[in-house]
Structure 1
Amino acid sequence: MTTTGATTGLTIKPLSPVIGAEITGIDLHAEQPQSVIDEILKAWRDYTVLAIRGTQDLTMEEQLAFAGRFGDLGARKQAPEALRERTEGIYQTNEHTLLVSNMKVDGQPIGAFGDADMWFHIDSGYSEKPYKYTFLYGLEIPSRGGNTLFCDAYAVYDALSDELKEKLAGKKALHIHEYKRTEEVDIEKDISDSPHFFHPVFITHPETGKKALFVDRLMTRRIEGLDAAESDTILNQLFDLMESPQFLYEHVWQKHDFVMWDNRCAPHGRTWFPKEEDRLLRRCTIEGECLSE
């Protein structure tokens, strides 16, 4: 149901039967009153993923100023080639921003995550305190593909059998940095050099109080307390379930889209797009907290 704030003028319209809503009536170039921030926080609790369309020429400073109203800006945790700070035009970055792109300047990548399919993941899920919120602004969008798929991790938890909930209750899972992109980490050996952390398989969201599944295909490697075969079987069942269409919202990007989501309950992935076409998005995040069941 579409709603309009009586005092803020924000209109919030669901984007799918699952999760996601579009917000209109907001100017991201302007400083927002606290009433608008409060309404966005409520919408986040209700819809998890929020999209604002048509904000032309949003600068890095404006993006960070808006995101910073929701907490402490996150620091980048990416590969060295993606960490260079840039000052030129739409390629501008600093310690709080990251370019998500397949583009190159002088033969060198300007950002991270290239042009391959991106498996479902939780941003910085391998760290002790995964990011709380993620914000993406679309600067260059390919003619087709490159869509972002968002999973409703609340609904997936609710859909699990009581037997599986009971079996996994109280258990943690190992999240290791981009395990499925490299397949190079042998977790039976010393993994101290690979960023990793054990998080509860089920978390209780600190603000909503709702349970969510907290695993993802890209970085979750092993359920603690289970042997490798049983862990792999259960994890693959969970991955297949959470990537089923009934739990997904697919965001088809348009240039100047601004999409923000609650990273704790919206594992997300990216679809294929033509490698010869440019895709460029600017990301920033909000620091998170330790998660518990």
Structure 2
Amino acid sequence: MSFEKTPLNVFMAILSVGLFLWMSYGVGVYLNHGHHAYNVTREHPWGLMIAMYVFFVVSSTGLCIISSFGHVFKIPGFAIIGKRAIMGAILTILAGFAVIAFEIGHPVTMVIYNVVSPGLTSAIWWMGTLYGIYLTFIILEFIFLARNDHRWSRLFGIGGLVVGIAAHSNLGSVFGFLVARPIANGVFYPIYFILSAMITGLYLLFLIYGFRYKLKFPPEIQEFLYKIGKLLALLLAILIFFEGWRFLTAVYGGMPERADVALHILTSAPFLYGELLLGM
């Protein structure tokens, strides 16, 4: 296996080494300073690691949902993404587990007590349990896809889809149950997380196929990307509609700690330039 020294390959190699060294430094700081290294407090207990975890599991669920269009629902044109999308779903959920392991601090203890002392009334317990089952299903789905055993791959694909949607909606409920945070409390997040998962999955498919074909797509891939582009536009329009009504009702209601927080978000640069302009 040879390394072709093109400018892009050299840049990606340098970037990969740099990111690995940066990650190693971060792990070292965490091991030396513990949870304090994340700059979280009792007032703000969730930091960047939680955001990274949500991103990875959102990506995994989205790829799983989009992949099911082909070999589960038999929608024409979507069968070509099966293996790539499911492998992407496996890698991203494993990345999410790796991130949350550093946030938890004692992941082995968590796994043990998750089994011997289950908290059936805890949304976080259900989140961990459902995502574990989900990972098992999509690994088996990929194995049978690789063997071209469509009967069993479809069976585990249905299981992975159902459990994945349940797990991800439950993850949204972790935020929706926050009575102490009125801006997050409510039924919005369990539904919003499913929608954002599908959008993220579609974006990742564009990236996957862009790297795979180096932006030189054969006709059948061009047709497929055109289809998911229209689907992405529809989902983004729905997302903007949802977000618009969420903020309108928050501001109009005038509820303390909800209306003022909504106004602060709407006038902040991270929302306007990050979430609205770049994200949507």
User: If the length of structure 2 is used for normalisation, what is the TM-score?
Assistant: 0.24
Higher strand residue share: 1
User: If the length of structure 1 is used for normalisation, what is the TM-score?
Assistant: 0.23
Structure having greater relative contact order (Cα 8 Å, sep ≥ 6): 1
Higher helix residue share: 2
Higher Cα Rg: structure 1 or 2? Answer: 2
